[in-house]
Amino acid sequence: MAKKRLASILAAAAVCCLAGTAAAVDADAQFDLAQRYETGRDMPTDLGRAYALYCGLARQGHAKASFRVGWFLWTGLGVRRDPVRGFDWFAAAAQGGEADARRMLKLLPPGKPHPQPVCRSESRRRSAPPVFIPDTARFRELAARGAVADAVRDLAPRFSLDPRLVLAVIAVESNFEPRAESPKKARGLMQLMPETARRFDVADPFDPVGNLMGGMKYLRWLLAYFQGDVRLALAAYNAGEGAVERHGGIPPYAETQAYVRRVGMLYPSDRHPFDAAVTEASRLVRTASRD
């Protein structure tokens, strides 16, 4: 009798284990599908479906999916930006052991998460203003493959630019979204302002190739103007070279300082080769060299 009972218990345990394994496999499959929708791997990009899949998994306590939900909400990637709810999901993911979430929480201002974060359907937004804290893993994936990365690697040498720097700028400017548009009317992959587009002969800033070429021309000019100082060039790309000159370096604007720091997370070099024939050095650099 005892043997039969033990056999019954073992059989029940086996069923439970198999069910748990099946559930885990199903969750992994759903997470992989969500990533494919998010990145456009082997299928058209669909951020709405990716978010919905991540949400379903996050409600079940899936730590990696919770982090992705937090990322979508914090950055406004395909959904209405909601930093408060994004922080809640980062905290939930961190509690579930997700290392990326723990690193993210260290970058963000301290806060007190709500005990039960909300994950609901969101309307997609095609032109969400980029508010991007670099996701280095996703950056590596997008920079390694895809039409934008291929175009950058083809075009960057023509402007004597390191493709890695250009890709880092694109990541922080637009998160690789060709139709991105900021409230200030900066447009496209490299977020060209209307006056910058005119300055560098870009007829349609939403044309990916034209946008890339205009952005690279500007970046090449800035590197020559600041004689290879990457941080000054990036600050000028964000705030304008005039602001950098007036302030004698990176302007004391929170947005610009954060921008330089974020690009630096993806492209850590402070120096870049430059073509002195493009333009004469800025007064700021000339003064510093005399000192």
Residue-wise pLDDT tens digits, 120-160: 655 444 433 444 455 566 677 777 777 889 899 999 999 99
Task: Judge whether residue 31 has pLDDT over 60.
Answer: yes
User: Given this model, what pLDDT does residue 290 score?
Assistant: 65
Reported pTM: 0.57
284 compared with 182, residue with greater pLDDT = 284
Looking at 124-198, which runs of residues are DSSP E strands? none
- Are the C-beta atoms of 85 and 117 separated by less than 8 Å? yes
User: Given this model, what pLDDT does residue 250 score?
Assistant: 95
* Proportion of the chain above pLDDT 70, given as a percent: 82
Task: Judge whether residue 16 has pLDDT over 60.
Answer: no
- Write the DSSP string, 253-269: -HHHHHHHHHHHHH---
User: Given this model, what pLDDT does residue 22 score?
Assistant: 44
Confidence category of residue 112, pLDDT binned at 50, 70, 90? confident
Q: Which long-range contacts (CB under 8 A, 24 or more apart) does 177-186 make?
A: 177/128, 177/130, 178/148, 178/206, 178/208, 178/211, 179/126, 179/127, 179/206, 180/127, 180/128, 180/129, 180/130, 181/127, 181/129, 182/129, 182/130, 183/129
Mean pLDDT score across all residues of the chain: 82
98, 122, 141, 173: the active-site residue: 173
225 compared with 112, residue with greater pLDDT = 225
User: Given this model, what pLDDT does residue 48 score?
Assistant: 84
Span 61-88, pLDDT tens digits: 999 999 999 988 887 787 888 888 888 9
Span 164-200, pLDDT tens digits: 999 999 988 988 888 888 878 899 999 999 999 999 9
* Proportion of the chain above pLDDT 90, given as a percent: 46
122 flagged as catalytic = no
